[in-house]
Amino acid sequence: APISTERLTITCAIPPHFGPIIPEVNSAWFKLFCYSVAGAGPDSILYPQGTRVNVLPQAFEHCITVSLEPWDRDPMIVDITYLLPTLNEAPLSSPVLIQPHSYHQQPPTT
């Protein structure tokens, strides 16, 4: 049945929105935008397409697992021992965003 204009599901939205969220909200771009606006967020490194990495970033030395999010695929959780080979393979086809997922110990606060 059509939605009546007399009953709005979200009264503060102008114009009214009745559907699911847009897919861009789940993108790496939106995450980076939110971290930038908030001035906070997890350590995040965006590697451009074609980048080769020789050494793991120091920000990830306390990690057990890392979230690796290629632009053209779903994010995956990678064990830190496999991160370097995976990180060198993933940017061949698209940019890659990496972020800590779990830690051995709490990361130092700065």
Whether the per-residue pLDDT at 101 is higher than 80: the answer is: yes
- Beta strands of 2-58 (E only): which ranges? 45-47
Residue range 80-94, pLDDT digits in tens = 999 899 888 888 888
In angstroms, the CA 93 to CA 80 distance is 21
Dihedrals phi, psi of 56, to nearest 5 degrees: -70, 145
Residue range 37-78, pLDDT digits in tens = 999 988 899 999 998 989 988 888 888 999 998 887 888 999
| Start-end of H helices in 12-82 | 28-38
Asked if 104 and 63 touch (Cβ cutoff 8 Å), the reply is yes
